Homo-oligomer: A and B are copies of this chain.
Amino acid sequence: MTDLPNDPIERLIALLARTPGMGRRSARRAVLKMLMRPQETMLPLAEALTEAARAVRPCETCGNLDAQSPCGICRDPQRDRHLVCVVEGVADLWALERAHAHRGLYHVLGGVLSPLAGIGPEDLAVGPLLTRIAAGGVEEVIIALPATVDGTATAHYLTDRLRPAGIAVTRLAQGVPLGGALDVLDEGTLAAALRARRPA
């Protein structure tokens, strides 16, 4: 907490300005606006931050962030447990959920392989994925990684590692723009790419 002003207003502006998407100017405006009705604006936000920091954790099964573990998706009896969609991160999982594109479960990899950045399989949730598949019940793994060089290489790597399990391994159809991140795509594109998935 070094480098933060002691004055309560300046301190709040400095912390809010660190929020992704907020600059110093918008933080100042937001704080001034909130100070007009602090009980109705600042205290509920403070409570929600505290509660989220306390309650939210990664799901022990899939890596999704939720207030319970296993997460709400893993616990949902309506979801198709034969189908597991592998995503790079929670942002992509949330994007697929907003698109109502996937009725199965997920597996959050926590990144993609990157020789340049020194990220190998042991840095990602590859082992837990193989263990999960080995436990049985999964019939298809859908690889929904970004269409980047590293994402594509990671998809190939996972396909090789999953081959011995003898299950279907598919990936998103072209439709995901080359080099594009999943979580900025519109929901229709995401849903179409998922429907038209093909063998990896």
- Could you list which residues of chain A lie within 8 angstroms of chain B, going by C-beta atoms? 1, 4, 7-9, 11-12, 15-16, 18-22, 26, 28-35, 38-39, 41-53, 55-56, 65-67, 72, 90-91, 94
By DSSP majority rule, is chain A's interface helix, strand, loop, or mixed? Answer: helix
CB contacts (< 8 Å) of A38 on chain B: these are 52-53, 56
**Supplied contacts A4-B44, A29-B91, A45-B49, 13 more A-B pairs, CB within 8 Å:** A8-B48, A8-B51, A8-B52, A8-B55, A9-B67, A12-B48, A15-B48, A19-B30, A20-B26, A32-B90, A38-B56, A42-B53, A43-B49
With A and B bound together, what is the CA distance between A112 and B1 in angstroms?
Answer: 40
Indicate whether A66 sits within 8 Å of B9 (C-beta atoms), given known contacts A39-B53, A42-B53, A43-B50. yes
Copies, count: 2
CB contacts (< 8 Å) of A32 on chain B: these are 65, 90-91, 94
With A and B bound together, what is the CA distance between A31 and B42 in angstroms?
Answer: 16
